[in-house]
Amino acid sequence: MTSLPYHGLRLLTVHAHPDDESSKGAATSAKYAALGARVLIASMTGGEAGDILNPALLQSPKASRDIAGLRREEMATAAAALGAEHVWVGHVDSGLPDGDFDNQTPPGCFYRVPDEVAMLPLVHIIRTFRPQVVTTYDELGGYPHPDHIKNHAVTMAAVAAAADAEQNPELGEPWQVEKVYYNQDLSAKKWVTIHEKMTEAGLESPFADHIEDFKKRDAQRVNWLSTTIDCAEFFPSRDRALLSHATQIDPEGGFFSASRKAARTYWPTEEFELAVDNTGRTPLTPGVDFQETDLFASVTLDDGRKVSAKGMLPASPDEDEDNEATGESA
């Protein structure tokens, strides 16, 4: 019996709230799961402070009475749609205050917990799951939400602590994550490019009212799209997962429908930014986009085999040696 090509590889995707895993890198998660990798989604919070954004559920007694419980059910359905495993890290949703995050977020919420404390459950998850690759958000959170910004800080602290045998030995044997990526699926570069392509084609762009916001965000931080994943065939899985979060997504909403359709036509990939590389390979050129097509490129499996620098798991140890010598992919 031949195993799937990515059997033995493990991807941990760390997100702030349930539904983030379905709107950021979801097709990539579905693709790797379908290829045999174990994909674990870690939700930092339960989304308890989320509003009901779907008009169809505004009168739902369950949604108004127990949105936290309903979002747990939605998350289970979404993970199944992606073929992924899921774990709750256990922090409390901070909400999205109008003012200063330090003063306006409630006591005890995720944003207020010190990083060295907030990271501990994630350190245990990393040491237990032993992912070769972790994805999270950049230092600005991808967009200015306190839990997304905190998600970055806590993930990076947990990755470093998980590899340190001296730190919190009660949380498991140390584990060195080989690669960390920032999810850039919502990068300004992507949506501005799609807008420009649609405008050039004489089409009405659903992003016209958002372009200035995208450009302002890009001015705050230059995003590096180091790694692009060809995953268009898994867009239906991504969309099913996102629609599973019925409290958060209006399926009739114009922006949802139009943006997904536009991405399928003009940008059928998902992008990531390489943040940490412990593989020992020749470093990528900083700032140059689209250098990789596989998050697992050059990582090492538990049995010592190494994924080709071009990606895809070699079929045998002999091929592995040939690939590492020639730089060719299996």
The DSSP symbol for 215 reads: H
Whether 9 contacts 307, CB under 8 Å: yes
Closest CA to 142 of 285, 16, 19: 16
Q: Which amino acid is at 122?
A: L
DSSP, collapsed to helix, strand or coil, labels residue 180 as strand
Determine the angle formed by the axes of helices 211-220 and 188-200, rounding to 10 degrees. 140
Ligand-binding site membership of 20 (annotated): yes
Q: What is the DSSP letter of 289?
A: S
Query: Cα 84–86–91 angle (5° rounding)?
Result: 150
Report whether 17 belongs to an annotated binding site. Answer: yes
* CA separation for the pair 16, 62 (Å, rounded): 23
CB 84 within 8 A of CB 75: no
Encode 225-258: b = buried (16+ Cβ within 10 Å), e = exposed.
Answer: bbbbbebbebbebbbbbbbbbbbbbbeeeeebee
Residue 148 known to bind ligand:
yes
Query: Which positions ≥6 away from 218 have C-beta within 8 Å?
Result: 187, 188, 189, 192
Sort 132 into a burial class: Cβ within 10 Å, 0-12 / 13-18 / 19+.
buried
Q: Rounded to whole angstroms, how far apart are CA atoms 106 and 113?
A: 11
Known binding residues for Zn(2+): 17, 20, 148
Known binding residues: 17, 20, 148
